[in-house]
Structure 1
Amino acid sequence: MKILLIKLGGSILNELHESFFTSLKDLQAEGYKLVFVHGGGPDINEMLDALQIVPEFHNGLRRTTKDVLDVVELVLSGKTNRTLVSLLQKYGFSAIGLHGNDANLLQGDYIDQSALGEVGEITNVNSDLIMNILSLDLVPVLTPLALSENGKTLNVNADMAAGAVAKALNAESCVFVTDVKGVLENGALVERMTLDEAEQLIEDKVIYGGMIPKVKTALKTLQTGIEHVRIVSGKEHFFESGKWVGTSFVEKVRV
């Protein structure tokens, strides 16, 4: 089974173009099974603002008190997940929303409870459950929530969750969907680069600004053992006529 793990950030969700869904259809026609993991940062921040709770971050991760966790779970499960599932259904996909803290789907452990609160990293993925869902020709859409050993819900960074799920499913590729088609050098799309090349481009400031965290996340995911990690755009075709459009990261060039 060829599995494609697609990570969607909350910020791109409302900007997805029809051509993005056409690319997904083309990938299904090529035999890929699709699995989604999504974030929900903008929706979460909007709700926190409405409740007059000031967002806090530590080393790039959302500091999650119990009050913040209630908001995170409410928004991810009740709004963002439903929005993505509805969008996929609109374009003809049999999508099903799954919450990572249900049925031991995603199990996790605290990263640093004193500094981050209810924030975790994934220690185990119920891959059998996801594979069973895929066998029914359904498209699973997962929230990045995990359950600790003692039954507590943990907030998991969506990028980290995507990498962990991709690894557990032995996915052929992990795709990070953004608002740009990939890494540009002198205005031209870089279609393929190795880990070393990417790090050099960051050092040379060819990769800069908001693209740096995107690339670093891609590289981190690559090091989990996924063969191909890609950055693509949600605003246009990213797969067409059997060809990928975006930046593909590989650990090293194969001879």
Structure 2
Amino acid sequence: MMKYIVIKWGGSVLEKLPKSFYQDVVSLHQSGEWTPIIVHGGGPLITELLQKLNVETTFINGLRVTSQPVLDIVEMVLSGAVNKQVVRKILEAGGNAFGISGVDGGLLQAKPTEASDTLGFVGEVVNVNHKLIEGVINQGYIPVISPVGIGEDGQRYNINGDVAASAIAKSLGANLCFISDIPGILVEKDGQKIKLTKATKKEVEELIDNQTIWGGMIPKVKAAIDGLVHNIPEVGIINGLEENSLIDYTNGNEVGTKIVLDEVFSNGK
């Protein structure tokens, strides 16, 4: 039985990921045990282009305020430049990838978030056309998905990549793995930063409240918790710059931070 794993990385990691990481994704796919589905962001590249074109951009709680001009650039960068770059890197690593945007085939059906008054065209996913993803997989490709969604009325939405990845994992009952450039969730202990190997929903919520978790990590852990509540077996946050981290993670070795619903459940598993 093949297991699905949704692998998500943001724009901050995109430029840094070594070739060996893409080779690991390809060998996972070829092992026949895991089926990778990639969801990518592209935040820094979007910011860079917005600045070049003098379009104002701001963030609220790690989410980009998205006006119509910002949305045009978000789609251009994510579904154009970044999506094809990831596809190329997988091809270079000997794999077979197929790039799609959340707009294609109504893959990510979206509606405005509750905070749309302040955030603009930022969406949340209401439905995932998982048959489309499975169709791509059945043709032998690794799907590479850009997180732009589409509403019933044809309006496009900028969807946070972590939120999109969680929605896709939920729809497929897949494991979810966030690739970061840090080793996981870090907390201060006796003046030292240490990594949590495991964190429960309750612990994560406390860490958000006391601002240990902040900025771009907030949507990540919130998406993780939301996923766990809705049938995602497990969520990991790992450092993609560490050799073999992805393979170690899929082999069940202790790597990064695993986020679980609660300790009782995870120990009894």
Give the structure-2-normalised TM-score.
0.85
Q: Summarize the alignment of residues 75-86 of structure 1 with structure 2, pairs less than 5 Å apart.
A: 75-86=77-88
Match for residue 248 of structure 1 among 246, 258, 264:
258
Opposite residue 198 of structure 1, the aligned amino acid is V
Provide Cα deviations, 1:73-132, integer angstroms capped at 9, x if missing partner: 111122111111111111112111101111111111112443222221111111011111
Give the structure-1-normalised TM-score.
0.89
Distance 1:59 1:140, change over 3 A: same
Q: Summarize the alignment of residues 220-235 of structure 1 with structure 2, pairs less than 5 Å apart.
A: 220-235=226-241
Does the CA-based 8 Å contact 1:19-1:235 persist in structure 2?
no
1:33 — aligned with what?
A: 35
Q: Summarize the alignment of residues 1-255 of structure 1 with structure 2, pairs less than 5 Å apart.
A: 1-28=2-29, 29=31, 31-111=33-113, 112-171=115-174, 173-184=175-186, 189-200=195-206, 207-208=212-213, 212-213=217-218, 214-236=220-242, 237-240=244-247, 242-244=251-253, 245-253=255-263, 254=265, 255=268
Of 222-231 and 153-162, more deviation after overlay is shown by: 222-231
Identity %: 38
Q: Partners of 1:58 and 1:204 in 2: how far apart?
A: 18
Does the CA-based 8 Å contact 2:42-2:78 persist in structure 1?
yes
Provide Cα deviations, 1:134-163, integer angstroms capped at 9, x if missing partner: 112200011111111111111111111111
3-state SS in 2 of match to 1:15: coil
Q: Partners of 1:209 and 1:57 in 2: how far apart?
A: 13
Opposite residue 83 of structure 1, the aligned amino acid is Q
Of 215-224 and 3-12, more deviation after overlay is shown by: 215-224
Of 13-22 and 195-204, more deviation after overlay is shown by: 195-204
Opposite residue 260 of structure 2, the aligned amino acid is V
Distance 1:136 1:39, change over 3 A: same
Distance 1:152 1:203, change over 3 A: closer
Q: Partners of 2:232 and 2:134 in 1: how far apart?
A: 18
Does the CA-based 8 Å contact 2:176-2:232 persist in structure 1?
yes
Structure richer in helix, relative to its length: 2
Q: Partners of 1:129 and 1:19 in 2: how far apart?
A: 28
Opposite residue 166 of structure 1, the aligned amino acid is A
Q: List runs of 5+ in structure 1 lacking aligned partners.
A: none
The structural deviation recorded for 1:200 is 4.6
Of 49-58 and 241-250, more deviation after overlay is shown by: 241-250
Q: Partners of 2:42 and 2:216 in 1: how far apart?
A: 19
Tell me the matched-pair count: 253
3-state SS in 2 of match to 1:109: strand
Does the CA-based 8 Å contact 1:122-1:146 persist in structure 2?
yes
Of 4-13 and 15-24, more deviation after overlay is shown by: 15-24
The structural deviation recorded for 1:30 is 5.8
The structural deviation recorded for 1:22 is 4.1
Give the CA RMSD over aligned residues.
2.3
Of 69-78 and 245-254, more deviation after overlay is shown by: 245-254
Opposite residue 245 of structure 2, the aligned amino acid is F
Does the CA-based 8 Å contact 1:176-1:232 persist in structure 2?
yes
Of 53-62 and 101-110, more deviation after overlay is shown by: 53-62
Does the CA-based 8 Å contact 2:23-2:90 persist in structure 1?
no
Q: Partners of 2:64 and 2:209 in 1: how far apart?
A: 27
